[in-house]
Structure 1
Amino acid sequence: MGKLEKKIALITGAGSGIGKASAKKFADEGALVVVQDFNKASAEEVSSSLSGSGHFALGGDVSNEQEMEDVFSEVEKRCERLDVLVNNAGVSGSPEGLGSITYDSFMRMLAVNMGGTFICTQAALPLMNSGGSIVNLSSIAGLAGWGPVHYASAKGAILGFTRASARELGGLGIRINAVAPGVVETPMTEDLDEALLAPLIMMSPLGRIGQADEIAAAILYLACDDSSFVTGQWISPNGGLVTI
C-alpha cells in the first residue's frame, strides 16, 4: 500500500518543477492528485501523465481569491474532501537590489508567495474536517536571508505563517509544515547566471545543486503519516549550504 493510498491531494504550481515532481511522487504513492497551475495546459499535461486514475487539472492564479474559491469548490464537488494541500506555487522575480525594487514588485512577490499560501490554506480548511496535512514551500532564502530582498521576505513570511498556523490547526487534526529548499534545478532556476551558481556549488558540502525529485521526497514525508507527530516545523533540503 502506498503512503498516500486513497488520499485526495491538491498541489499548486504543479505544472513544472518541484510541483510536477511532487504530483508524480504522490500519484505513485496512491493519491488522487489535483494538479493546479496558473498555466492550465501545463497542469493538464502533468495530470494526464500520472500513474493511477482520477487525477484532474485546474487552472487559476493563487493570489486571486475568487479564482481559488472556484478551484476549491470544484475539488469539493468532485472529491467531497481534501486530505493534503501542498502550497507550492510561487515566483522568484528578478535579482534586483533593495534600492531598485519597486513597491508594486515587492507587493506582487508577497501576493503570490505568501498571499497565495494564505488564500489556499484558508480555502482548504472546510474540506479538511477529518484532519489533514498542509505543506508550504518556503526557501533557503527565507531561512538565511539569501537572494533578492522581496523574495527572501516572502519566503520568510511563509515560515512564520506555518508556525503560527500549526498552533491553531493542531486541535482540528490538521498538521502544517514547510519545506525550504536550497538551489534546485527547475525551470525557475534554469536562467540563473553560471557565475552565481558556481560559488553556491563550491560552498555546498555535497558539491551540487538539488533535483526536484529530492525536494518532492521531503514534501511526501510531511504529507503522509510517516510524519504524524510533526507540525509547525520545516525541513530544508539544501545540500548543507545552511548547516545551523
Structure 2
Amino acid sequence: MSRETGRLAGKVACITGAGSGLGRAMALRFAEEGATIAAQDLREEAADETVKLLDGDGHRAFGGDVCDEGDMVSMFAQIHGTWGRLDVQVNNAGVSRLPGDGFDEMMAGQGSQMSLMGYEAFSKMMAIHAGGTFLGTREAVKLMGEGGSVITLSSIAGLAGWGPVHYAAAKGAVLGFTRAASRELGAMGIRINAIAPGVIDTPMTADVDEAMLAPMVMMTPLRRQGTAEEV
C-alpha cells in the first residue's frame, strides 16, 4: 500500500540540524510530502548536501549555531525575505557529547561522569538543546499565522533519565519548554508538540560507547535501535 503524499504541499518548513541523521530524514520526508525546506545545520555544507537530495525545487541551506542568537535572528530574517512566512518549525539540532563532559575520563575509570563533568560542558549542552529550542521557536512564531506548527525534539533520556546528566537535563528542559509554550501558542492557533525518541541509529549515537548503548537497547520493546526514517 503506497503512503499518502502531498500533505505539505505549499508549506514552508525549517528544520534545524538537517545536515545528517534525524534532521536529514525529516527534510527528505517533508520534501516528499511537498514542503519547501529551509535546511539549517552548524555545518552549512552538510545542510547543502541535504538540500541536493530533496525532491522538488526552491529549497535552501543555512549555516549557523542554534544557540547563537545573532545567527538565528539572521536566518529567520532570510527565511522571511525568501518566502515571506513559515508554516512548520522543527527544532532538531543537538549533540550527545561535548569536550570536557567527563566521558573519556569516566571510561578510563577515573570516576563518575557527573563528578568529572565541567560546568562549561553542562552549560553548553543546555544552551544547544534548551536555548536552541527557545530561539528557534521564538523566531519561527513571528513568521507563522494560525495553523502553524512547531515540533521540538526531546528524548527518552528527558523522560527516563537515560544517558549522561547534561543530555538528560537538556532534553527534560525541552519537554518543560514545550508544555509551557503550548499554553501560550495555542491561543494564537499555533501547535507545538515534542517528540521523544529512544535510541536511534544516527551519527550522534555512532559515537556512543557500545557498553552504554546496550542496556538502553535492551529496555526498548523492539530490542534494537530505531532508524531515523521510523521517527
**In the TM superposition, what is the alpha-carbon distance from 1:16 to its structure 2 partner?**
0.2
Corresponding residue for residue 195 of structure 1: 211
**In the TM superposition, what is the alpha-carbon distance from 1:204 to its structure 2 partner?**
2.3
**In the TM superposition, what is the alpha-carbon distance from 1:200 to its structure 2 partner?**
2.7
Corresponding residue for residue 220 of structure 2: 204
SS at match of 1:115: helix
Q: Is 2:192 aligned against 1:176?
A: yes
For residue 115 of structure 1, what is the amino acid of its counterpart?
G
Corresponding residue for residue 110 of structure 2: none
Q: How many residues align?
A: 215
Corresponding residue for residue 228 of structure 1: none
Corresponding residue for residue 67 of structure 1: 71
Corresponding residue for residue 139 of structure 1: 155
Q: Is 2:190 aligned against 1:185?
A: no
Corresponding residue for residue 9 of structure 2: 5
For residue 114 of structure 1, what is the amino acid of its counterpart?
A
**In the TM superposition, what is the alpha-carbon distance from 1:5 to its structure 2 partner?**
1.1
Runs of 4+ in 1 over 4 A off after TM superposition: none
For residue 135 of structure 1, what is the amino acid of its counterpart?
I
Corresponding residue for residue 24 of structure 1: 28
Give me the TM-score of the superposition, normalised by structure 1: 0.85
CA distance in 1, matches of 2:211, 2:126: 27
Corresponding residue for residue 120 of structure 1: 136
Corresponding residue for residue 39 of structure 1: 43
Please identify the structure whose Cα radius of gyration is greater.
Answer: 2
CA distance in 2, matches of 1:204, 1:120: 30
Contact 2:38 2:60 in 1 (8 A): yes
For residue 87 of structure 1, what is the amino acid of its counterpart?
N
CA distance in 1, matches of 2:207, 2:120: 23
Cα RMSD between the aligned structures? 1.2
1:195-242 Cα offsets, whole Å, 9 max, x none, are 222333333221211000111xxxxxxxxxxxxxxxxxxxxxxxxxxx
Identity fraction in percent: 56
CA distance in 2, matches of 1:118, 1:174: 15
CA distance in 2, matches of 1:6, 1:121: 21
SS at match of 2:128: helix
Give me the TM-score of the superposition, normalised by structure 2: 0.90
CA distance in 1, matches of 2:77, 2:175: 27
Uncovered stretches (5+) of structure 1, i.e. residues with no partner: 216-244
Contact 2:14 2:37 in 1 (8 A): yes
SS at match of 2:187: helix
CA distance in 1, matches of 2:157, 2:218: 18
CA distance in 2, matches of 1:161, 1:192: 27
Would the alpha carbon gap of residues 199 and 145 (structure 1) be closer, same or farther in structure 2, given more than 3 Å must change? closer
CA distance in 2, matches of 1:110, 1:192: 19
1:14-53 Cα offsets, whole Å, 9 max, x none, are 0000000000000000000110000000000100110011
Q: Is 2:230 aligned against 1:214?
A: yes
Q: Looking at both structures, which has the greater relative contact order when contacts are Cα pairs under 8 Å and sequence separation is at least 6? A: 1
CA distance in 1, matches of 2:119, 2:129: 16
Uncovered stretches (5+) of structure 2, i.e. residues with no partner: 107-112
